[in-house]
Structure formats: structure tokens, C-alpha cells
Structure 1
Amino acid sequence: MTAMSLRLPRRGVSAAIGGTIVVLLVLLAVGGPLISPYDPLKLDLLARMKAPGTTGHLLGTDEFGRDILSRLMYGARTSAWIAFATVAFAIAFGLVFGVLAGFYRGASDRVIMMFNDALLAFPGLLLALGIMAVTGASREAIVVALGLAYMPAVVRVVRASVMSIREREYIEASHVMGNSEIVTMVRHVLPNCVAPVTVLATTMFGWVILSESALSFLGLGVPPPAPSWGNMLASARPFITQAPYLIVLPGLCIALTLLGINMLGDAVRDWLDPKMQG
């Protein structure tokens, strides 16, 4: 057996590493409350600023004596919930508007893309900041703000796919068979948009986690004392020299999560994009 045959394909290794990290994130999000050693909101002023490795606190404690490991686990749950909800929001509305614009074209296309381009004119995080400043900080507001910020990218991808798909022979055959336009879109157009939307969704998942962390860091995300990786970074700024682990640990969680999602997204793109085959 040659060395070439023993070597795993690069995309297989990328998918394995990225998938492992994403699965760990999901497990922490789902099972974190069951396996966390402490209540993440419980104060223990006698155990303030304990370094990692301290008996009873594997990753140490913060300025209020709260267990860092427990807060990181609950922070993973917060980030994963917001990311899933935001991606679902952006994909759902992006599919609807993208299919309508690409399939009907004409006036509906012009109106939809006019509003879509207006949203695209604003950077995603800046648009989310403006919405959050009006609605206030809450998980639901973050989902709506980031969903509206990232929806225009979905609309453009879906619209481009639909404009190509609607010219295929099987779409014309569906009309000849007497199927309505709604049936044609649901049965023949939407299934063929799954591949590009799936690739975009995996990439968007990482964008949302980073944006949520940035909003929380700026004080417009998940309101304290509820833990999130972003507000843990923000609260640790005054102690960067005294207890650098307070910044390193949540920052490492964000970096590893983004790395895993990007690696998995690249592998998914390679599998679904015919141009990347071989």
C-alpha cells in the first residue's frame, strides 16, 4: 500500500476536524447545563480571581468568584442558540425573497432587489448596531438584527441560482404538465437551491458567532449577568494584566469555533460544488 493511498484527502481531514469542533460546540450547547460544575451566575467573593488549576475550579474564577468553565459552557449555549436562530431567520426570508425575485423577475425583482441593495449598502455589523441601539439588548433582538444584516447575502445567492434554474427544460415541462407556479417553485426550484444555500449557511454560522461576540463586547449583545463569550471578554478588560486567562479562555473558544466552522464550510463547499470535484 503506497503512501499516497494512506494519505487522507485534505478535504476529509478538514471536514473531520471542523466537524469535531462543531459537534463539541453543539454538545456543550445542549448538555452544558447538565455537566457544568457550578451555577454560572453564583457569586463566591471568597474565591475571587482563582487561577486555572485551582482545586474545585479547573479554569479558575472571575472577579466575582464565578466559575469560568461553567460560564464558558453556558456561553457556548448562548452563541449556538443565537447562531442557529439567526441563520434560520436569514435563510428562511432570504429563500422567499430570492425565489420571488429570480422566478418572477420584472417589477417584483426590481422592488425586492432595491430594498436588498439598500440593506447591503450598510456593513452587516453596523446595521446590527443601529437596530440594537433602537430595540435594546436581548437575545431576540440580536437574532432579528443579525438576521436582517445577513439576509441580503442569501437573497442574492438564491436569486442568481433561481434565474439559472428557471431556464431549464424541466421547469418548462412542469408548466406544460399544468403545475402552478407555486408548485413549480416548491417542487423543482427550491430543491436545486439547497447546495449553494447550505454552503452559505455554514459560512454564515461563523459570521454570526463573531458578530454576536462583537455586539456583546460592545455592550449591545446578551445583557449581563447572563454569560456569553463576548461579554466575558468585555468584563475581563480591567484585569488583563492581573488575570490574563479571563481574556485568553473566551477568546480561544471563539477562535476555535470559527476555525472549526470555516474548515467544515470549506469541506461542504468542495463536496457540493461540481467545479471543486477532482
Structure 2
Amino acid sequence: MIAQAFTAVRRMRLNMLLGLIIVGAALLIAVFGPWISPADPLQINLRARLAPPQAGFLLGADEFGRDVLSRLIAGARTSVTIALITVFVAVVLGASIGVIAGYRRGWTDRILMVFNDAMLAFPGLLLALGIMAVFGASRNGIIVALGLAYAPVVVRVVRGSVLSIREREFIEASRVIGNSEWVTMRRHVLPNCLAPLLVVGTMMFGWVILAESALSFLGLGVPPPAPSWGNMLNTARPHIAQAPQLILFPGLCISITLLGVNMLGDAVRDWLDPKMEGVA
């Protein structure tokens, strides 16, 4: 048992460390991208069209002669910014609805959960595609679409936590001293939901990056010429035989970032809830 516990702790620390390094690197690149980018990601140089990696273009050039490394850095800024704002929107909206539904219960809970379950019946990406058809392809459209698509997941998680928290003694004490329901929910119920919110928010960060890349790949994301990892994959498809690096590098960026987010999310989950350790 001691050996198993030691192995589990070591695994959690390794996941936490590697996840923090990868996610931290992505965040730093997103923040300092304009200052570390070797060239203008929108600058066209037709003489360097589809150039392989070389001195002037460390990762090559795309079909318009634009520096791939600079576009990857700018794409990181786009993807990370959209993911952070989307997670914030989904968590705030979902947590608000989840707390109200779980605490008030009764008809309020039933009505809110009917709509929530109806949205959960659709896969997140499919629901986002439908919402994008209304808002159109834009950065704000992606944030609204993915925020609404992933909020029901947060609602379900928070509601489950609130149903347990509302029966505890300190909630009853808050009622006895005369606090209103809104004060009790804000001061005592919501703060005790932060642990599951942190876990689902961390995991959702990776979901949003993948979904944004998929939408951009389908032409429903950030419109060109603004770079994102997804639309870089889309525009590179016709040139995969001649310049495979145009597909390889954006794909690696997406894969490595998702790996880091998943490792960090697993470590956070194991840290906050040891009972869930090892559960996929």
C-alpha cells in the first residue's frame, strides 16, 4: 500500500510538472507572441512560396510565402485567448444556473434541467456548429458558440455539488441567522463548488482548443488571413504532398497543447479528489 501510494504521488507530481510546463509555455507564447515572433505573420513573400525549413524560415513558408513559425506563434495567441474567454463564459454561466437549480430545487430545478439536458443531448461541437450558423464565422462567434455549448457540462457538475452542500450544517446556520437565499448561495454555496469547477475548467480548456481548431479547419472559425492552428491545417491540405511540414507543425502544436492540458487536468483532479485517482 505504501509503495502504491508513493507511486501515485510521484505520478501526480510528474503530470502536474509536465502539464504546467506545456500549458505555461503556451500561455507565455500567447502573451509575448508579438515580441518573440521572428516576422510579421501576415507578410507575403511569393518568392519564398512553400519554402522548406531554412535559415530565413526556421519552419518553412506557406503557400503565400508567410513565415510558418510566426503564424504558429500568432495562432497560439488566437487559440489560447479564445479558450480562456470561452472557459470563463461557460463557467460563469454554467455555475450560476447550476447553483440556482441545485439550491432552489422544485420547479425551478426541473425547468432549468429540462433545458440543460436537452442541450446535453447534442455533442458540444455539433451544437457549436448550429450556433455558428447563426452568428457567422468570427472570433466572437466562436466564443459565444463554444461557451453556450459547454456551459451545460458545468451546470450538471455544479448542480450535483450543490445538492450535497445545501444539506450541510453551515448552510442551515446561514438560513437561521437570517441570510437570504441569494446571500447564502453567493457566500457559502458557490465557494464550496470551486474544487469541481477548477477541475472541469482545466479540462474544458483543452476541449475548447480542440473544438476551435476543428471549427477553423471547417472554415467556421477565425477568418483568414488571421492565423489559427485550425485554419493553417485547412489551407495546407492542397499542399500536403509538396510541403508536408505545413500540416505537421500545426498538428504538433495542437497535440502537445492538448497533452499538457490533459496531464494538468488529471493531476488537479487527483489532487482535489484522491478517490478519483486513476479513473479515466
Q: TM-score range by the shorter chain?
A: over 0.9
Which residue in the other structure is 1:141 paired with?
141
Unaligned segments of structure 2, at least 5 residues: none
Aligned-pair identity in percent equals 68
Which residue in the other structure is 2:52 paired with?
51
Moved more, 126-135 or 71-80: 126-135
Question: 1-side partners of 2:164 and 2:256: how far apart?
Answer: 37
Question: 2-side partners of 1:57 and 1:241: how far apart?
Answer: 19
Which residue in the other structure is 1:272 paired with?
272
Question: 2-side partners of 1:29 and 1:137: how far apart?
Answer: 22
The one-letter amino acid paired with 2:46 is L
The alpha carbon displacement at 1:242 in A equals: 0.6
The alpha carbon displacement at 1:122 in A equals: 1.1
Q: Alpha-carbon deviations, 1:19-66, whole Å to 9, x = none? A: 0000000011000011101110110001111111x1111111001000
Which residue in the other structure is 1:245 paired with?
245
Which residue in the other structure is 1:200 paired with?
200
The one-letter amino acid paired with 2:24 is V
Please list every run of at least 4 consecutive aligned residues from structure 1 whose deviation after the TM superposition is greater than 6 angstroms. Answer: none
Which residue in the other structure is 1:11 paired with?
12
The alpha carbon displacement at 1:181 in A equals: 1.2
The one-letter amino acid paired with 2:97 is F
What does residue range 1-278 of structure 1 map to in structure 2 within 5 Å? 9-52=10-53, 54-276=54-276
Question: 2-side partners of 1:30 and 1:210: how far apart?
Answer: 20
2:269/2:277 contact within 8 Å kept: no
The one-letter amino acid paired with 1:17 is L
Aligned residues: 274
Q: What's the TM-score, normalizing by structure 2? A: 0.95
SS of match in other structure, 2:41: coil
RMSD: 1.6
Question: 2-side partners of 1:133 and 1:212: how far apart?
Answer: 15
Question: 2-side partners of 1:172 and 1:135: how far apart?
Answer: 44
Unaligned segments of structure 1, at least 5 residues: none
Q: What's the TM-score, normalizing by structure 1? A: 0.96
Question: 2-side partners of 1:41 and 1:130: how far apart?
Answer: 30
Question: 2-side partners of 1:18 and 1:120: how far apart?
Answer: 28
The alpha carbon displacement at 1:133 in A equals: 1.4
Q: Alpha-carbon deviations, 1:230-267, whole Å to 9, x = none? A: 00000000111111000000000000000000000000
SS of match in other structure, 1:212: helix
Question: 2-side partners of 1:71 and 1:30: how far apart?
Answer: 14
Question: 2-side partners of 1:219 and 1:239: how far apart?
Answer: 17
2:79/2:209 contact within 8 Å kept: yes
The alpha carbon displacement at 1:275 in A equals: 1.8
